[in-house]
Amino acid sequence: MIEITNRAAAELKALMEDSGKSGSAIRIYITGSSIDARYGLALADDINDNDITMENNGIKIVMASDVAVGFTDGSIDFVTDRTGKNFIIQNAESGTCDNCDECGICDAD
**pLDDT the model gives residue 101:** 52
Q: What is the mean pLDDT of each run of 10 residues along the chain (109 residues)?
A: 96 95 93 78 91 96 90 92 93 60 48
Question: Which is nearest to 69 in space by CA: 35, 98, 108, 44?
Answer: 98
Nearest of 51, 63, 52 to residue 26 by alpha carbon: 63
At residue 108, the pLDDT reads: 44
- Residue 62 is predicted with a pLDDT of 96
Q: Tell me, what's the pLDDT at 107?
A: 46
The candidate with the shortest Cα–Cα distance to 30, out of 82, 100, 108, 109, is 100
